[in-house]
Amino acid sequence: MIRIISCMLIITCTYVQVNAQNKNSKYEVGAAVGAFVYQGDLAPSRFGSWKTIRPGLILHGSRKLNSTLAVRLNFTWASLSGNDAKYSTPDYHRQRNFNFRTPLIELSPQIVWSPMGWSEVGPRITPYAFAGAGLGFTRIRRDWSNFNPGHFGLNENLPQRIAQDIARRTPVLLPVLPVGAGIRYAVSPQIVLNAELNYRTTFTDYLDGFSRAANPARKDHFFSISVGAIYRFGKKNSWDCPPVR
């Protein structure tokens, strides 16, 4: 009888410990470092300007709503850059010779979905996806001083189009729609490593400072690839059972 009671106590304590861990991890904070890639008129392809990658720092805090959903607030401190002179093909890039750079501060609330759940005792590697809306703060510095007008035909009328762009103010406040996905690896109930891809849709063609003189038919965007660590708050186990002897 004593053995039966002892086994029942052990099973009960194990169940309570598991659920206590799950209930005590609603809040978490994290930090990550990332590479930020500009996509726009000064990039040679839709995949972005990989020769002008800039670093960035990401801080975030989350609260889990249920077993699969959480709300997250992201703070990003980074920079963006693009430079025609970095690319020899197509040939017009080095002749046009536009470039820009800007610091970027971004704040964005997001919804995070983990289809496999947040369990700390289940699979250690879990995927997740997220989407949200945010606001970026920029100070765009554009440069056209090395433009070579002799390379372009008169019918392109690029000097006039450059003048039109210069007359246009660049955005200081930048609305963005972040969307992306990542993976989490639970090192322990408190420490999680993560990696993610975050793509930002913007609503401007002047992220790089140029539109009429480049490609006014397509908006500018950017994305980041980051790796970081997350700390989950909560006591390891506040409902420990006394040892059974």
Residue whose structure tokens are 């699979």? 123
pTM (predicted TM-score): 0.84
Please tell me the distance from the alpha carbon of residue 8 to that of residue 15, in angstroms, as a whole number: 11
- Position 8 confidence tier, pLDDT thresholds 50, 70, 90: very low
- The whole-angstrom separation of Cα 77 and Cα 105 is 5
pLDDT score, position 220: 96
pLDDT, tens digit, for every residue of 50-95?
999 999 999 999 999 999 999 999 999 999 999 999 998 888 899 9
Cis peptide leading into 90, omega within 30 of 0? yes
Structural contact between residues 39 and 221, judged by C-beta atoms closer than 8 angstroms: yes
- Bridge partners (DSSP) of residue 228 are 32, 194
Judged by DSSP in three states, 140 sits in coil
**Virtual CA dihedral for 166, 169, 172, 177, nearest 10 degrees?**
-90
CB 229, CB 2: distance < 8 Å? no
Q: How far, CA to CA in Å, does 93 sit from each of 83, 86, 97, 115, 148?
A: 9, 8, 6, 44, 10
Q: Is 136 helix (H, G, I), strand (E, B) or coil?
A: strand
Domains with residue ranges and CATH for the chain: 27-232 (2.40.160.20)
Strand partners, 109: 73
Q: Name the one residue in this structure whose structure tokens are 């090395």.
A: 146
Distance CA 180, CA 114 (A): 12
Among the listed residues 175, 53, 172, the one whose alpha carbon sits nearest the alpha carbon of residue 107: 175
User: Which tens digit of pLDDT belongs to each residue from 171-211?
Assistant: 999 999 999 999 999 888 889 999 999 999 999 999 999 99
When pLDDT is averaged across residues 36-44 and rounded to a whole number, the result is 94
The C-alpha atoms of residue 196 and residue 221 are separated, in whole angstroms, by 17
Bigger pLDDT: 55 vs 12 = 55
Span 124-181, pLDDT tens digits? 889 999 999 999 999 999 999 999 988 887 767 899 999 999 999 999 999 999 999 9
Element (H, E) at 29: strand 27-39
Residue 135 DSSP one-character state: E
